[in-house]
Amino acid sequence: MSKKKVIIFDTTLRDGEQAPGFSMNTDEKLQMALQLERLGVDVMEAGFPISSPGDFEAVTKVSKMIKNTGVAGLCRANEKDISVGWDALKHAVRPRIHTFIATSDIHLKHKLKKSREEALEIAVNAVKFARNLCDDVEFSAEDALRSDVDFLCQVVEAVIAAGASTVNLPDTVGYTMPFEIDKVISTIINKVPNVDKARISVHCHNDLGLAVANSLMSVNAGASQVECTINGIGERAGNCSLEEVVMGLNVRKDLFDDIEIGVKTNEIYRASKLLTSITGVGVQPNKAIVGKNAFAHEAGIHQDGMLKNRITYEIMTPESVGYPSTSLVLGKHSGRHAFVERIKDLGFAVEQDAIQKAFEEFKVLADKKKEVFDEDIEAIILNQSKDYQETYIMKSVNILSGDTAIPTATVKLEDKDGNVMVDASTGDGPVDACMKVIERIAGISGRLKSYNIKALTAGKDAVGEVTLSSEFDSSGYDIRGRGSDTDVVVASAKAYLDALNKYITRKESRESMNSDKGV
């Protein structure tokens, strides 16, 4: 019996990235896209091209770079969105236009102020327009799982007739129970006359913690595409987690014996790790499949069972998801070759001159720290992937602090024309003092919105990594910054400067766009 292929559609770079705290710059998206390609997802959604110049650029670059995976871009159901989306996607080996409009009465009445008939017409026209540009068109009926099922059947039939090869039924608000989604998918498959001309897909959000269960139930009911994200990131409570749904299908092959998926499960851990190091947001230790404790057996009875036979307490091996069995530690005697190999193992693709700079940073760190771990190397690499202009470069930070001292920071910055500026300030604490100096030198005021600090590895000599977000000049935008150093105050100053440089780049590019338009 030939098996039915279930498409794994990854939307980490679109639905995942649009969640607060998970934004990625273009270079970070490219790194992630390469790992998704290695992981063997069938389609990656690279962004929402019309939503911002950054998203347009990222989708364009991902489309040009990725050779073995389909690349999708999200577009609302109108000609402008779809044309812009196509401009970004047209370079891809396997492009896919993904267009959507809501179909639930709640969305139609309160958000779109349209009738069902109008929504149906818009959906059909959008699919037809997209099909004139691209052979592979996906249509999503947003909030499908709160839509009237008879109307949904009508929409599915009409968009398939208009040329959609995939019809996606999102549980946009994560409201559905597994037995309900089972019924909806079965109804669509049994009632829509032309359903065999397209794939039925699901896209489940996790507001009730049921996204994976609902996706598996849908596959069981006949859906042949699952939309998901690495680590389950995404709007609000996130999306269906790729690693969980894939391992669910894999570990329970006995139940899903008539389907096959293309994902290389031993690349899962690397994908998860790369995402957490890029975004600075880790997964909880007990997270299924990729959490730190996912394969740790603590209880004595469990350890005893494991020693007698692993299958007593282990339903999958750590190796099957790519957990590294040993972590190679580098040090000051490690050579360039070992360093480069380690970067590749961690999933990064780094160009030659960036490697040289990274290797120099590694040597400096190895002098400070006896052992350099994977997390340290990731921080060094991410430090290189700046796709914005560094208006200011940190030259030095000196801090006076203590329980009886007035915290004072002296910061030296160099601007892009080579001018060196030094200033000093007191503050509520050393971090506050550093930020005040940076703001004063740049002539920009900032408001810190979030601040997180973590030790990248164990050990008293660990590198501290700071991720923060700040709003500058009351612009209304939260800008993310990251910095790492063995000194946590210096790491904080670097992170703040990182955010400030991004803000300046963004401000300048907006100003030049406005002056081009004569605004």
Instruction: Please report whether residue 238 would count as binding ligand KIV according to CB under 6 A.
Output: no
Query: Rg of the chain over CA atoms, in angstroms?
Result: 25
Sign of CA dihedral 107, 110, 112, 117: positive
Name the residue nearer to Zn ion (CB basis): 15 or 465. Answer: 15
126 touches 134 (CB < 8 A): no
The residue with its CB nearest to Zn ion is 15
| Residue 265 binding ligand KIV, by CB under 6 A | no
Within 147-176, which residues bind ligand KIV (CB under 6 A)? 168, 170, 172
Closest listed residue to residue 413, CA positions, set 431, 440, 453:
440
Strands 446-455 and 95-102, sheet pairing: unpaired
Q: How far is the CB of 42 from ligand KIV (least distance, A)?
A: 16
Q: According to the binding rule CB under 6 A, does residue 439 interact with ligand KIV?
A: no
Work out how close the CB of 331 gets to ligand KIV at its nearest, in angstroms, rounded to a whole number: 45
Minimum distance from residue 64 beta carbon to ligand KIV (Å): 24
Position 139 contacts ligand KIV (CB under 6 A): no
Which of ligand KIV, Zn ion, none has residue 176 at its interface (CB below 5 to 8 Å by kind)?
none
Antiparallel, parallel or unpaired: β 4-5 and 199-204: unpaired
Report the C-alpha gap between 78 and 217 in whole angstroms: 32
Tokens of 42: 């069938």
**Alpha-carbon distance 98 to 49, whole Å?**
11
Site string for ligand KIV, 71-110 (x = CB under 6 A): -----------------------------x----------
User: Minimum Å distance from CB 166 to Zn ion?
Assistant: 15
Nearer to Zn ion among residue 101 and residue 397 (C-beta)? 101
Closer CB to Zn ion, residue 15 or residue 378? 15
Alpha-carbon span 431 to 445, nearest angstrom: 15
DSSP conformational letter for 303: H
| Nearest approach, Cβ of residue 45 and ligand KIV (Å) | 9
> CA 63, CA 73: separation in Å to the nearest integer?
10
Query: Which residues of this chain interact with Zn ion, rule CB under 5 A?
Result: 15
Decide: is 206 part of the binding site for ligand KIV (CB under 6 A).
no
Residues 345-384 that bind ligand KIV (CB under 6 A): none
Q: Residue 277's binding partner, choosing from ligand KIV, Zn ion, none, with beta-carbon cut-off 5 to 8 A by kind? A: none
- Partner whose footprint covers residue 100, from ligand KIV, Zn ion, none (CB < 5 to 8 Å by kind): ligand KIV
Contact 40, 34 (CB under 8 A): no
Smallest gap from Cβ 447 to ligand KIV, in A, equals 31
Nearest-approach distance from CB 205 to Zn ion, in angstroms? 6
Residue 194 corresponds to which tokens in the numbers above?
């032309």
CA distance 70 to 9: 9
CB within 8 A of 132, min separation 6: which ones?
none
Task: Tell me which residue of 292, 293, 501, 470 sits closest to 389, measured CA to CA.
Answer: 501
CB of 100 to ligand KIV, least distance (A): 4
Among residues 15 and 143, whose Cβ is nearest to Zn ion? Answer: 15
502 binds, among Zn ion, ligand KIV, none (CB under 5 to 8 A by kind): none
Nearer to ligand KIV, 96 or 436 (CB): 96
Order of strands across the sheet with 446-455?
446-455, 464-472, 478-485
Instruction: Tally Cβ neighbours within 10 Å of residue 348.
Output: 23
- CA pair distance 202, 223, nearest whole angstrom: 7
Total residues contacting ligand KIV (rule CB under 6 A)? 9
Kindly report the length of the chain. Answer: 519
Smaller CB distance to ligand KIV: residue 170 or 483? 170
User: Residue 478 and residue 467: Cα distance in Å, rounded?
Assistant: 13
Nearer to Zn ion, 15 or 376 (CB): 15
- Give the one residue of 146, 199, 203, 342 binding ligand KIV; rule: CB under 6 A: 203
Is there a contact between 342 and 328 (Cβ–Cβ < 8 Å)? Answer: yes
Is 140 a binder of ligand KIV (CB under 6 A)? yes
Query: Between helices 242-251 and 268-279, what is the axis angle to 10°?
Result: 170
Using an 8 Å Cβ cutoff, are 98 and 72 in contact? yes
Partner from Zn ion, ligand KIV, none binding residue 369, C-beta < 5-8 Å depending on class? none
Rounded to a whole number of angstroms, the minimum distance from the CB of residue 403 to ligand KIV is: 50
The item of ligand KIV, Zn ion, none sharing an interface with residue 37, based on CB under 5 to 8 Å by kind, is none
The yes or no reply on residue 22 touching ligand KIV (CB under 6 A) is no
∠ Cα 292 295 296 (to 5°): 75
Candidates 42, 142, 244, 378; binder of ligand KIV (CB under 6 A) is 142
Q: Which is nearer to ligand KIV, 35 or 172 (CB)?
A: 172
Nearest one of 232, 293, 398 to 246, comparing CA atoms: 232
What is the contact surface with ligand KIV in residues (CB under 6 A)?
Answer: 15, 100, 140, 142, 168, 170, 172, 203, 205
